[in-house]
Structure 1
Amino acid sequence: MSAAVDSGTGALNGRVHCAESATNGHHDPRPWSQQFLPTPLHLEDSVRAQKVEARLKELVLCGEVLRRVADVFEQEIERGLSEQPSSLQMENTYVPELPDGTEEGVFLALDLGGTNFRVLLLELAAGQLVRQQVKHYHISNALRLGTGEELFNFLADCVLDFVKQLGMEDQTFSLGFTFSFPMKQHSISSGELITWTKSFKCSGLEGVDVAALLERCLRARNLQITVRVLLNDTTGTLIAGAHMHKNVGIGVILGTGSNGCYMERASRVQHWEAAHERVQDVCVDIEWGAFGDNGCLDFIKTDFDREVDAGSLLATSFTFEKYIGGKYLGSILSCVLSALARAGLFPAEPAPDALQTAHLSLFEDENCAGEVSRTMTALREVCAGASITAEDARVAQHVAHVISNRAAQLVSVCISTLVRRMSRPHVAVAVDGSVFKHHPRIARLMRTYIALLAPHHSFSLLGAEDGSGKGSALTAAIAARLATRDS
């Protein structure tokens, strides 16, 4: 297997050469542990460059530190699977199979995970998607912060509106419900909310089966709809990816937040609330955004991370997500540039909340191209018109590069651990999310670092679109197939 390598050997004036050198036969001459390091900063003022690098030292992880992270991740996996205290939920999703090409029928899918809620109708024939209709509905702030009953009645009203528009309100449907919040699952079609995340904080759902609540609200509107599947967007990504590529065994979200799931041997999973004698493998939802919430990762936490955490809505939680999620990368960038400004190494502190992850991607994009003009323009906007030179822009680009490199390293640790754990001839990893799709360098870095961390294992990264929609319908089709087979 060849992997794309961002070798860092082409640095010039702080810029990074971004060619994929591995495919050209280039061998990185550095020792293994150092092949994870970001490109050094080169400025005309070498003393300033050294001082900036010294300030960023905590954010730079070598291979040996990443091995330690991997060891901790493996330990937390084992503890979670055996129902011992762990920062990893390791939730049994009860999804025992992946698409096999025989999926048939018309299914509804609901996707709840942000301010926009989607209702979808999908038709499958011989495993292929032959029809898809989608409608978006906006969820108001009042609904996101109101009662759970109000929210779920609104969701049912949206479904009623959708099927009425199609003239199908009298038909019988199986439904896949993508509920992208941490859950405690009891079966493939039932589960309880553990905690709201993102912008949701509805009351009254403690200990409530969200699938049963949805179905009750649908039946109150005389809709003949059965909730066959309850899953999150990460599981949906795995299913959607497996529909595209038969070797997919891992699903990853790398967007505003981050999570992973994978097919684990059923015999390794302790928590079961349903018969599983014939189940060989089952999808496990890791919920790795919370990795380190118990302090097991404090050895990589920096003062910048502590500052971002203190300013977040959910302080002291979602530790790992705050290193790699798009919701937080811009905040880390702002913290670091502010610290450099206070040390006299950058012209001015950015305005609070002015830097977003889109800025980090922009700085990386220009860094790869050896340019600074758009970076300078953006910095002048967020630094209240401060005088920004080309050298200042290169400092900001280097900070973005170091933060991006660490994010790629850490998500690669998780994926490589799963690839080694599954020990298959080849594992394809289905990945969705805005950071993976839009960051100019992160996919290439992930390929490099996974290959370094799992050197004797064949893998590939596969962009998987719309796991939260297509994936839930496919899972409903799988559940329908299993129900027919077991009846």
Structure 2
Amino acid sequence: MSTAVDSALGRVGLGRSPDAPLNGHAAPDHENGNWDEQFLPPPLRIDDYNRAQKIESRLSGLVLSGATLSRVSDVFERELERGLKEESSSLQMENTYVPELPNGTEEGLFLALDLGGTNFRVLLLELRAGQLVREDVKHYHINQALRLGPGEDLFNFLADCVQDFVRSEGMDKESLSLGFTFSFPMRQHSISSGELITWTKSFKCSGMNGVDVAGLLQQCLHARGLDITVRVLLNDTTGTLMAGAQIDPNVGIGVILGTGSNGCYMERASRVQHWEAAHARVHDVCVDVEWGAFGDNGCLDFIRTDIDREVDQHSLLAASFTFEKYIGGKYLGEVLRCSLAALGRVGLFPAVPPPGSLLTEHLSLFEEENCSGGWSRTLFVLQQACGEEARLGPEEALITQHVAQLISNRAAQLASVCIAALIRRMDRPLTGVAVDGSVYKCHPRISTLMNKYIALLAPNHKFTLMGAEDGSGKGSALTAAIAARVAANNPS
């Protein structure tokens, strides 16, 4: 059976999404005709040529040509400029008020509180000459009642956990600075204050409208008699940038590519409209793009497929976080499932996998086996997802691997569009990009694809992609140290 499949007699060219004119700067060498083709994934190879043709046609919307990606890039740049000017945009372009990157002089003991999911951490980190020399950490679980109840209850719980942690360290009487990693969209008013814009993930606490989350945490800490000062409020993307820049001073962009996705970068302070603090001496400032919501205003509808609409319709946050649903680990497995279901409904696949039956970890597994030339593990997972009554064989496993490849390729392309646009905008001799997140770490091909596509979309710009660990912990401590250094150098 495998011999017949592996002979791969069928070979079909991929269809393309509707194209738009190239924007010149993205690909100056496109006239030779090869540039556009380099974005196309390999064709489906199965024995049944007619079936392969029909599958390719049905899924052609998942295939983005270079011209279409160039159009996405133009839209991203337009939305970026609007966001910086505080005009209507799907990009928040939030001023984080972080004015510097690590320079190797960061010193001291710092607490870090990392809130972004059902499990969160309190950390004690010691920096010497910018290097992390000590890290103590304790994990705590946030139950559903706290995640959905009054916000004040949640923050009192966080303060209780901080108190428990410093007592376990024998430091409950000491004066400490804290970096608060709050990985939810927020509107910052300074480096140490900001308001929640919207809860995401599994949180929906009430009573948080207009509340300064750092101020509320500070209040709860003081109520427990703790001499702990919240020095920095940041999200995990900013922390990733800081953690990356501590390793490589060329790093100027931070990216999260995990359950969700986001990016931040160092922007010229003069280009940023929103300021609520003195910034006469600030040359650059970290801007949090919040690109997960890119396209929420309809500006990316030209790449949206019926499959994407189905994923969105059945998501917890329908009609929001549009871009994240193309590239985030929370959604890629469902994009795969909906794609196979779409084939099943028109008789091109022998089953319609039920909702939730395929996860992003399965997509990564299918890609891994595709790279090695096998299909047996794919078939096993597929049979479990679709049920034993489904008549599945090696050809269905190869089709599934192909669909996973299309989805992975599109995710890598769209993430690369945003990164390449920031690289071109910063226009440095060499721009380092620090990336963290489960999709980047665990997907077998994503980093290779991103290197390829960023190079195509930002020609004549040197860049490096590097993994950065624990931006929400280490990055938080580094940012708190930077805030202390800036305050010492600029006494009010």
Q: Indicate the residue corresponding to 2:66 in structure 1.
A: 63
Q: Indicate the residue corresponding to 1:430 in structure 2.
A: 434
Q: Indicate the residue corresponding to 2:302 in structure 1.
A: 299
From 279, 284, 306, give the equivalent of 1:281.
Answer: 284
The structure 1 segments of at least 4 consecutive aligned residues displaced by more than 4 Å after TM superposition are: 11-15
Residue 483 of structure 1: how far off its partner (Å): 1.1
Residue 118 of structure 1: how far off its partner (Å): 0.2
Residue 384 of structure 1: how far off its partner (Å): 0.7
Q: Distance in 1 between matches of 2:316 and 2:485?
A: 42
- Residue 247 of structure 2 is aligned to residue 244 of structure 1: yes
Compared CA separation, residues 432 and 371, structure 1 to 2 (3 A): same
Q: Distance in 1 between matches of 2:127 and 2:401?
A: 46
Identical aligned residues as a percent: 73
One-letter code aligned to 2:409: N
Q: Distance in 2 between matches of 1:93 and 1:144?
A: 25
From 410, 414, 422, give the equivalent of 1:410.
Answer: 414
From 232, 236, 239, give the equivalent of 1:233.
Answer: 236
- Residue 405 of structure 2 is aligned to residue 387 of structure 1: no
Aligned length, in residue pairs: 465
- Residue 460 of structure 2 is aligned to residue 456 of structure 1: yes
Q: Indicate the residue corresponding to 1:345 in structure 2.
A: 348
Residue 460 of structure 1: how far off its partner (Å): 0.6
Q: Indicate the residue corresponding to 2:338 in structure 1.
A: 335
Q: Distance in 2 between matches of 1:346 and 1:306?
A: 20
Q: Indicate the residue corresponding to 1:213 in structure 2.
A: 216
Q: Indicate the residue corresponding to 2:131 in structure 1.
A: 128
Q: Distance in 1 between matches of 2:89 and 2:396?
A: 43
Q: Distance in 1 between matches of 2:366 and 2:131?
A: 40
Q: Indicate the residue corresponding to 1:114 in structure 2.
A: 117
Compared CA separation, residues 59 and 226, structure 1 to 2 (3 A): same
Q: Indicate the residue corresponding to 2:322 in structure 1.
A: 319
Q: Indicate the residue corresponding to 1:478 in structure 2.
A: 482
Residue 351 of structure 1: how far off its partner (Å): 2.1
- Per-residue CA deviation, residues 346-367 of structure 1 (Å, 9 max, x unaligned), is 1211122110001110111111
Compared CA separation, residues 14 and 335, structure 1 to 2 (3 A): farther
One-letter code aligned to 1:161: D
Determine helix, strand or coil for the equivalent of 2:259.
coil
- Residue 153 of structure 2 is aligned to residue 155 of structure 1: no
- Residue 432 of structure 2 is aligned to residue 466 of structure 1: no
Report matched runs for 1:79-98 at 5 Å: 79-98=82-101
Compared CA separation, residues 378 and 157, structure 1 to 2 (3 A): same
One-letter code aligned to 2:143: S
Alignment check: 8 A CA contact 2:333 2:360 kept:
yes
Alignment check: 8 A CA contact 1:351 1:384 kept:
no
One-letter code aligned to 1:139: I
Q: Indicate the residue corresponding to 2:15 in structure 1.
A: none
From 185, 196, 199, give the equivalent of 1:196.
Answer: 199
Residue 485 of structure 1: how far off its partner (Å): 1.1
Alignment check: 8 A CA contact 1:14 1:40 kept:
no
Aligned-pair Cα RMSD in Å: 1.3
Question: Structure 2 stretches of 5 or more lacking a match?
Answer: 1-6, 12-31
Residue 13 of structure 1: how far off its partner (Å): 6.3
Alignment check: 8 A CA contact 2:10 2:47 kept:
no
Q: Distance in 2 between matches of 1:174 and 1:166?
A: 15
**More divergent stretch after superposition (329-338 vs 384-393):** 384-393
Q: Indicate the residue corresponding to 2:187 in structure 1.
A: 184
Compared CA separation, residues 267 and 12, structure 1 to 2 (3 A): farther
Compared CA separation, residues 14 and 128, structure 1 to 2 (3 A): farther
Q: Distance in 2 between matches of 1:273 and 1:165?
A: 38
Alignment check: 8 A CA contact 1:375 1:393 kept:
yes
Q: Distance in 1 between matches of 2:308 and 2:344?
A: 17
- Per-residue CA deviation, residues 118-139 of structure 1 (Å, 9 max, x unaligned), is 0000001111111000000000
Alignment check: 8 A CA contact 1:14 1:394 kept:
no
Q: Distance in 2 between matches of 1:368 and 1:398?
A: 11
Determine helix, strand or coil for the equivalent of 1:106.
strand
Normalised to the residue count of structure 1, the TM-score between the two structures is 0.94
Q: Distance in 2 between matches of 1:333 and 1:125?
A: 46
Residue 387 of structure 1: how far off its partner (Å): 2.5
Compared CA separation, residues 14 and 208, structure 1 to 2 (3 A): farther
- Per-residue CA deviation, residues 361-418 of structure 1 (Å, 9 max, x unaligned), is 0111111100001000000100011232111100000000000000000000000000
Q: Distance in 2 between matches of 1:251 and 1:36?
A: 24
Q: Indicate the residue corresponding to 2:3 in structure 1.
A: none
Q: Distance in 1 between matches of 2:313 and 2:129?
A: 51
Residue 341 of structure 1: how far off its partner (Å): 1.0
Q: Distance in 1 between matches of 2:156 and 2:391?
A: 53
One-letter code aligned to 2:380: T
- Per-residue CA deviation, residues 153-201 of structure 1 (Å, 9 max, x unaligned), is 0000000000001111000001000000000000000000000000000
- Per-residue CA deviation, residues 1-27 of structure 1 (Å, 9 max, x unaligned), is xxxxxxxxxx95689xxxxxxxxxxxx
One-letter code aligned to 1:316: A
Q: Indicate the residue corresponding to 2:376 in structure 1.
A: 373
Compared CA separation, residues 14 and 460, structure 1 to 2 (3 A): farther
Q: Indicate the residue corresponding to 2:443 in structure 1.
A: 439
Q: Distance in 2 between matches of 1:111 and 1:14?
A: 51
